[in-house]
Chain A
Amino acid sequence: MPRQCVVEPHDMAQVLDPGSIVVADWHRSADSKEFFSRILHKKKRRNFGLLEALVMPPNVSVDTVHYKIFISGKSGVGKTALAARLAGLNIPNMHYETTGIETTVVYWPVKLRESGRVLFFRLQLWDCGENALRRFDHLLPSCKEQVDAILFLFSFTDRASFDGLSNQIARGSEPCDRVVKLVVGTKFDLFMHTDVTEREVTRFQEVWGLPVFRMGGDVSNVSNLGEVAPLLNCLAEHLWHQDCVATRSTILPVSTQSEAANVVHV
Chain B
Amino acid sequence: MMLQQAGSVQLLCLTANSGVPLFTRGASKQLPFSVIGSLNGVHMFGAGQGVVLAGCETDRGGRMVWRVFQDSVMLIAVSSGGQAQQEGGGAGEEDLHLRRLLENVWNCMVLVLGQDELASLRNVERLKRDLRSCYRLIDQLLEGGQGQEGIMGDLTHCADCLLPPNATLLQEGLDGFTQAADSEFGCLMVHGRIATATEKWWRLAPQEVVLLSVLARSLSLSGSASCDTPVFLPQGSPTVAHRLLRFQLLPGADVCVLCGPSPTLHRSESELVGCFWSPLLEALRGSLAVGERCLPGSVTLRPDVLALLLINRESRRSVSCVKAIITNPNHPPSDHPLPSKARCWELLRLFYTFTTTRYFPLEESPALTPGEKAQRGDSLREDFALGFSHQPLQCYLVTEECKCFGLQTAQHQLYLLTPLSVPTFALRSVATQTLSTITLATGF
Contacts and interface: CB of A to CB of B under 8 A. Distances in A.
Interface string A86-101: 0101101010110111
Interface stretch (A47-55, A111-119, A227-235, A247-255): A47-55
B219 A131 contact: no
A50 B247 contact: yes
A104 B225 CA distance: 5
A105 interface: yes
A68 interface: yes
A80 B269 CA distance: 20
Interface in A42-81: 47-52, 68, 80
Contacts of B253: 49
Interface residues of B, number: 38
A84 B222 contact: yes
B276 to A, nearest CB: 10
B227 interface: yes
A32 interface: no
Most chain A CB within 10 A, of B136, B228, B274, B277, is at B228
A66 B136 CA distance: 31
Interface stretch (A7-15, A136-144, A170-178, A197-205): A136-144
A50 B247 CA distance: 7
Contacts of A124: 225
A142 B265 contact: yes
A145 interface: yes
B336 interface: no
B365 to A, nearest CB: 27
Contacts of A139: 228, 230
Interface residues of A, number: 36
Interface string B111-151: 01000000000000000011011011001000000000000
Contacts of B132: 97, 131
A139 B253 CA distance: 25
A102 B224 CA distance: 6
Contacts of B227: 100-103
B249 interface: yes
A162 B243 CA distance: 32
B228 A101 contact: yes
A145 B264 contact: yes
A142 B269 CA distance: 12
Contact of B133 (A99, A101, A142): A99
Contacts of B241: 136
Most chain B CB within 10 A, of A47, A89, A99, A102, is at A99
A102 B219 contact: yes
A29 B218 CA distance: 38
A99 B243 CA distance: 11
A162 B129 CA distance: 21
Interface of B: 112, 129-130, 132-133, 135-136, 139, 219, 222-230, 241, 243-244, 247-251, 253, 261, 264-266, 269, 273-274, 277-278, 281, 284
28 contacts: A48-B225, A49-B225, A50-B247, A50-B249, A50-B269, A50-B273, A50-B274, A50-B277, A51-B250, A52-B250, A80-B222, A83-B224, A84-B223, A99-B230, A100-B230, A100-B244, A102-B222, A103-B225, A103-B269, A104-B225, A124-B225, A131-B129, A131-B130, A132-B230, A138-B261, A139-B230, A142-B266, A145-B264
Given A51-B277, A102-B222, A136-B241, 13 more contacts: A50-B273, A80-B222, A90-B223, A99-B112, A100-B244, A101-B228, A102-B224, A103-B225, A103-B226, A129-B133, A139-B228, A142-B266, A145-B264
Interface of A: 47-52, 68, 80, 83-84, 87, 89-90, 92, 94, 96-97, 99-105, 124, 127, 129, 131-132, 135-136, 138-139, 142, 145-146
